[in-house]
Structure 1
Amino acid sequence: MKRIATVGLMVAALGLSACSGLNTKEQRMLSGGAIGAGTGAAATVITGGCVACGAVVGGAIGTAAGYLYHEGKSN
C-alpha cells in the first residue's frame, strides 16, 4: 500500500510540474477541464452512471467552456 501511495504522489507531482509557464488561455482551459471532470464524475456517481464517462464528458465540456470564456474576455 505504501508503494502505491508513493507512485501516486510521484505521478501527481510530475503532472503538476507540466503546468508551469501556461498563458492565460491555457490556464482557463486547464481549470475548466479539471472542474468539469470533477463535476462530471460527481454527477455520474449521484445518478449511477459510468464515472469515467462522466469525467471525460465533463472535462471536455469544461475545457471548451474555459476556451470560450477566454475568447469572450479578450474581445
Structure 2
Amino acid sequence: MKIAKYVAGAAAMALGLASPVYAQSAGELLKGGAIGGAGGAVAGAVIPGLSVGNGALIGAAGGAAVTALTKNKRSYRDSRGRRYSLDKRGRRTYR
C-alpha cells in the first residue's frame, strides 16, 4: 500500500505542474477534483480495505487529471441543424 501512496503522490505532483497548460481554467480543475473526491469517498466507504480518506484523495487526483486532459468538446447546432464547435478564436468548426 505504501507504493500506491507514493505513486499517487507523484501523479498529483506531476498533475499540479502540468495542469495549467492543459486546463481551460482553474475553476474547471477544482470542479473535476471535487467531483472525483466525492466519488472516491463514496467508493472508500463501500470498498473493503480502502479508507474514505484514501478513496477521496485518489478520486480527487483522478478527477483533476481527467478534467485537465480532456479538452472542451462542447458542440452547438446552427439554424440548419449542422453540428459545430468553436475553436480558441471563436470560429465555427463543422463536424
Return the TM-score normalized by structure 2.
0.47
Aligned-pair identity (%)? 34
Tell me how large the CA RMSD over aligned residues is.
Answer: 2.1
What residue is the counterpart of 1:63 in the other structure?
A: 64
Q: Which has the higher strand share?
A: 2
Q: Highest CA radius of gyration, 1 or 2? A: 2
Q: Distance in 1 between matches of 2:69 and 2:43?
A: 23
Q: Which amino acid aligns with 2:29?
A: M
Q: Which amino acid aligns with 1:38?
A: A
Q: Which amino acid aligns with 1:62?
A: G
Between the two proteins, the alignment pairs up a number of residues equal to 51
Q: Which has the higher helix share?
A: 1
Q: Which runs of 5+ in 1 are unaligned?
A: 1-23
What residue is the counterpart of 2:46 in the other structure?
A: 46
Deviation at 1:44? Answer: 1.2
Bigger RCO (CA 8 Å, 6+ sep): 1
Q: Which amino acid aligns with 1:44?
A: G
What residue is the counterpart of 1:31 in the other structure?
A: 31
Q: Which amino acid aligns with 1:29?
A: L
Q: Which runs of 5+ in 2 are unaligned?
A: 1-23, 73-86, 89-95
